[in-house]
Amino acid sequence: MLAKVKNKPLVVVFDEFQEITSFNDIKLENLMRTSFQHHKNVTYVFMGSKQHIMQQMFEDVNRPFYKFAKPFPLKKIPPKEFKKFILDKFKQTQIEISPSTVDEILGFTQGHPYFTQQLCHELWNIANGSKKVQKNDIEKAVTTLIEIHNDLFSMIWDSSTFPQRKMFIALAMEDKASSVYSTAFIKKYELKSASHARRAIEQLLMNGTVERVNGSYTVTDIFFKEWIKSRNC
């Protein structure tokens, strides 16, 4: 209606669109699809951080939004540009940070914007007094962030099944876990059987605590990954 009244193209953006699945049925998806497909001069953008759930919503032939949108995965920010951005932001607030320290930050966060922002913010808090990021400040910042999110991480852990916890530990120990169903991997991390491992992975992918990147599985939240390692490895 607004696009028609204004006689202008309209763009509607939904952030974290996968959260509509928390309503436990697909009635809302049906209603939205039925309405959206009749709209003219309106472009819809569906954004979501849980790639696995988003893929199911738009690639499952039985879901209302099947083939409704064109996938457009966002690539990571180029390390060179990200590094310059971080160095500039610290410089603007008169806090000294070395280029090698920024490299260490991006290596730890793997260039993930949200986790990089979290870590840099905590580093800034730590260094604000001395106006310089010290050698061990990254370790201090990670420890602080783990402590801050301890209740959330404990809740995720406590609500997980025993096979899921075993899988969490396995993925926390592995940088790139691609052969999670192999005999060697299952034996190494006492996952019992390939079927148990597959069920655990599927459930963790579904709730977004684990993600698949370039054929390998990893714990989605790098601070949760460190929390797991600090308590179980």
Read off the pLDDT of residues 85-144 as tens digits, 9 standing for 90 and up.
999 999 999 999 999 999 999 999 999 998 999 999 999 999 998 999 998 999 999 999
Q: Return the structure tokens found at 59.
A: 């690639």
Q: Does residue 96 contact residue 132 with C-beta atoms inside 8 Å?
A: yes
Q: What is the pLDDT of residue 127?
A: 94
Give the up-direction half-sphere exposure of residue 138: CA atoms within 13 A in the CB hemisphere.
16
Band (pLDDT 50/70/90 cuts) for residue 24 is low
Q: Do residues 52 and 208 lie in contact, with contact meaning Cβ atoms separated by under 8 Å?
A: yes
pLDDT of 41 reads 84
- Structure confidence at residue 5 (pLDDT): 66
Residue 10, helix vs strand vs coil: strand
Q: Over the stretch 40-83, which tens digit does the pLDDT of each residue have?
A: 888 899 988 777 788 888 888 888 888 888 888 877 889 999 99
Which residue ranges form the domains of the chain, and what is each CATH number? 9-74 (no CATH), 79-148 (1.10.8), 151-232 (1.10.10.10)
Q: Quick one: tokens of 60?
A: 């499952």
CA dist 59 and 53 (Å) reads: 10
For residue 109, the one-letter residue type is T
User: What predicted TM-score, i.e. pTM, was given to this entire model?
Assistant: 0.79
Residue 1 has what pLDDT? 62
